[in-house]
Amino acid sequence: MKAAVFLLLLMAAHVAAQSPEWDAAAETAVVFNPDFPGSADLAAYYAEKRGIPKERIIGLSCPKTDSMSRAEFEEKLRQPLLKIFQDKGWWNVPPPLTGTPPPEKDDLLEVKTGVRVLALMRGVPFQIRRAVENPKQSQEDEASVDSELTVLGLNKPPTSGGLRNPWFDQPARFHRAKQAAGLLLVGRLDGPDDAVVRRMIDDALDAEQNGLFGRAVIDLAQKSEAYKQGEDWLLQSAAAFEKAGIPVFIDREPSLVGDFWPLPDTILYFGWYTGQISGALSSPTFKFKRGAIACHLHSFSAGVIRTHDQAWVGPLLSKGAAASFGNVFEPFLSLTMHFDVFNKRLLEGFTVSEAAWNATPALSWMNVVLGDPLYRPFGRGIGTKLGQGADRDYALYQGMVLRHAGETEAHVKAALTELAEKRESTKLLELTALLSALQFKLPEAIDLLEHAAFATREVADILRMQLYRAEMMRRAGKPDAARQLLREVLKDDAYKNQPALPAVEFLLKALGG
């Protein structure tokens, strides 16, 4: 009862702090390709689900391929779309001006009120092909269709190089930010097939209604020097999740999280830097939790999208993610989406498209945002949902972390452990162990995982605890103890049919056998 009371108090405090809502759906237009099978139906489905009027659904015939030339982009997308915006009175248009990078306020069309968000449906090309061979670095003329459309309001957008995003890492939401005047939020509902796209739409709505509860996974690559910036983004994201009461598992090995490694209830995944999906996320048994947001940073992570098994974006969506992000061509690390900024904004209540473009320093460049652009998983504030059923322990964990914010790490974990014992919850013990591991308190993590394994009767849960115990032993400099534990697991017939058993062999091999 007390746990429920303090969660309700937290809810009231967060709701009271929320600014007046922006009805983003009322300012959204949907673009589909009538020549691409299924594109019109997906547009109608999305508009109905989000309450977007039919007059804001726009069909523009364009190539059915992934890419288009710069001339095709101008003729079939940019110019027709701009004319529609003007004809329908969505934008007021001043006399033509010469736009020069970076875009300044006077170079942008004056947005009246009509449209600030653009949803591109499966079937609209996502790449603009290179026209000039051997360009100077950062003067490439290829781009993503989506990023070019963010600056639809620029009178004469340059065709080479990126433009400074004036709204990058600004605290105000899109509709209130002066720096965003004249820009468009562009999201893409695209993926391996129509069924995946419909599921992405449904999952976003479900998570908004019922809350997004689960765990975050951060997969470091242990890169340094010129690449250290990416590692910092990941570590800062982990710190933001920890503060928000979202349990975090960090893989600290240079390679990806190993094959078949159990990652239950994953709602947030951020990693890098491999060209093709592999490791735990590619395992046949892995599935994201409904509403999950996932991104693997790579230069060509969205070079292909309409695929179940190539690159990253398509496979992540195929594995159940509701939103993902990527690059259609080489973006350069500093110009791609900054994970730390994205997660800061997402946790503050921005929509997925707001958070993604706010975290991207360059426009008219290489980035794409996959998912419902209106998806706002934490729009009601962190800790404002009580959670139902299997989500209740996650909600209680989150509430306890928020309630004890500012207190010592030991005090927070003592409160969590006491709550776990009262509820006889092995999940809360496991989540507290992840918190200890995050804080490099490895002996604590090992003890908590051992306690959790002893307290549960679910074979899959026991195996997961043993795997995580062995991993914490490895990190604690106890490889012999880890090997002994893993060998005992392999000898136990109780685990022989468990999907995670290959992960035991994988870790044992990594430990030298």
| pLDDT one-digit tens code per residue, 43-72 | 999 999 999 999 999 999 999 999 999 999
The answer on pLDDT for 286 being more than 70 is yes
pLDDT score at 3: 40
The answer on pLDDT for 11 being more than 90 is no
The answer on pLDDT for 102 being more than 60 is no
The answer on pLDDT for 104 being more than 50 is no
Q: Is the peptide bond before 254 cis (omega within 30 degrees of 0)?
A: no
pLDDT score at 381: 87
pLDDT score at 114: 81
Residue corresponding to tokens 């976003």: 204
Contacts of 2 (CB under 8 A, 6+ apart): none
Q: How far apart are CA 55 and CA 33, in angstroms?
A: 16
How do residues 444-459 score in pLDDT, each as one tens digit? 999 999 999 999 999 9
pLDDT score at 92: 66
Share of the chain above pLDDT 70, in %: 92
Mean pLDDT value across the chain? 90
Mean pLDDT of 153-157: 75
Strand order in the sheet with 67-68: 67-68, 127-128, 143-144
How do residues 73-99 score in pLDDT, each as one tens digit? 999 999 999 999 989 988 865 544 334
Mean pLDDT of 122-149: 89
| 3-class DSSP assignment, residue 220 | coil
The answer on pLDDT for 17 being more than 60 is no
The answer on pLDDT for 410 being more than 90 is yes
Angle between helices 392-403 and 2-17 (to 10 degrees): 70
11 versus 24: the higher-pLDDT residue is 24
The answer on pLDDT for 154 being more than 70 is yes
pLDDT score at 226: 86
How do residues 156-196 score in pLDDT, each as one tens digit? 777 888 999 999 999 999 999 999 988 999 999 999 999 99
How do residues 303-347 score in pLDDT, each as one tens digit? 999 999 999 999 999 999 999 999 999 889 999 999 999 999 999
pLDDT score at 15: 35
pLDDT score at 39: 98
pLDDT score at 35: 98
pLDDT band of residue 390 (cuts 50, 70, 90) is confident
How do residues 247-283 score in pLDDT, each as one tens digit? 999 999 999 999 999 999 999 999 998 999 999 999 9
pLDDT score at 93: 53
Mean pLDDT of 383-412: 90
Angle between helices 479-491 and 459-475 (to 10 degrees): 160
How do residues 482-493 score in pLDDT, each as one tens digit? 999 999 999 999
Greatest CA separation for the chain: 78
Token pair of 508 as six digits: 């044992």
What does the angle CA 239 – CA 380 – CA 19 come to, to the nearest 5 degrees? 100
**Contact call for residues 49 and 24 (beta carbons, < 8 A):** no
The answer on pLDDT for 423 being more than 70 is yes
User: Which DSSP category does 154 fall into?
Assistant: B
The helices-and-strands tally (H runs, E runs) of the chain is: 17, 17
The answer on pLDDT for 462 being more than 90 is yes
Distances in Å between the Cα of 15 and the Cα atoms of 85, 191, 388, 398 are 35, 34, 20, 16
pLDDT score at 472: 98
